[in-house]
Amino acid sequence: MERPAWAPPGIDISVPSVSRMYDFYLGGSHNFEVDREAARKAMEFLPGLPKIMQANRAFMRRAVRYAADNDVTQFLDIGSGIPTFGNVHEVARAADPAARVVYVDHDPVAVAHSRAVLDGVDGTGVVAADLRRPADILHSAEVRELLDFDRPVALLLIAVLHFLEDADRPYEAVAELLDALAPGSLLVLTHASYEGIPVDAERASGTVDVYRSTRSPLVMRTAEEIGRFFEGVETVEPGLVPMPHWRPDSPAEEEDPYAFSGYAGVGRKA
């Protein structure tokens, strides 16, 4: 297997990575054949997976603009993946040139590529860390240097919590992160669910099985289970809804049916 020049040394390119599969769905070039193979296999069950990822990205951009419009200009993006066009710092900087963004991921390719893309970009940082260990993120040099925890921060958890099994204590991880943030901070998340997918759960479970082979099992949760992540914060209108319904820029009924697979929401810490 040929190793591309941009691939960081020491990484295992024989195992698919969810962030590189996500990059493939979005039309990016920072993925390996093993990632493309797994992504294509997942798409045999859910051919609309690229549409789901595009809906995630579109929601993220709307939520970042919402944050900036409400004077939240610090962003902690965990599970940030591989930067593609229209990333958090670009959207945030368009709204406020002084916005600060820290990207966090545990995939070495995502981290290395993020550092390359952000080289020389003021007010941005990249942390190699895992959502399962919030203290590592909160006490990292980049977070401490760039983010002022006395002021509100937008905590972005876009399409990442569904890769944490209940045994990973995802609810506790989110609570620990929120606990460190100032009043007025925002929790911004999306999460996969069988609810809303335009195929039956049995067929969709084929995609779940593909992800199980990537060492990052895909955990589908109900709206009620996803809503538990917002305990202690107040969800802003329109609440926890399918992604295209969250403050859309264009009529939601124009969206692809797959865009409604999963939920999105924003909560504000009192």
Tell me, what DSSP letter sits at residue 144? H
The predicted model scores a pTM of 0.94
Percent of the chain with pLDDT over 70: 97
Which pLDDT band holds residue 112 (cuts at 50, 70, 90)? confident
pLDDT tens, position by position, 79-98: 999 887 789 999 999 999 99
Beta bridge partners of 264: 190, 241
Average pLDDT, stretch 92-109? Answer: 94
Query: Which tens digits make up the pLDDT trace of 134-159?
Result: 999 999 999 999 999 999 999 999 99
pLDDT at 2 over 70: no
Residue type, 143: V
All residues at 6 or more sequence positions from 6 whose CB lies less than 8 Å from its CB, including other chains: 30, 112, 113, 116
Averaged over 4-26, what is the pLDDT? 82
- Give the model confidence (pLDDT) of 210-234 as tens digits: 999 888 899 999 999 999 999 999 9
Enumerate the β-bridge partners of residue 189. Answer: 157, 265
Q: What is the pLDDT of residues 177-213, one digit of tens each?
A: 999 999 999 999 999 999 999 999 999 999 999 999 8
**Homologous superfamily of domain range 55-199+219-269:** Vaccinia Virus protein VP39 (3.40.50.150)
Q: Is the pLDDT of residue 236 over 70?
A: yes
What pLDDT is attached to residue 86? 81
Percent helix / strand / coil, the chain, rounded to 5: 45, 15, 40
User: The tokens 């460190």 sit on which residue?
Assistant: 180
Q: 8-38: buried (b, 16+ CB within 10 Å) or exposed (e) per residue? A: eeeeebeebbbbbbbbbbbebebbbebbeeb
Check: CB of residue 72 under 8 Å from CB of residue 185. Answer: yes
Please report the pLDDT score of residue 252 as a whole number: 92
Mean pLDDT of the chain: 94
Q: Is the pLDDT of residue 3 over 70?
A: no
Least confident of 3-17, 157-171, 202-216: 3-17
CA distances from 183 to 17, 30, 169, 179, 270 (A): 35, 37, 24, 9, 5
pLDDT higher than threshold 90 for residue 240: yes
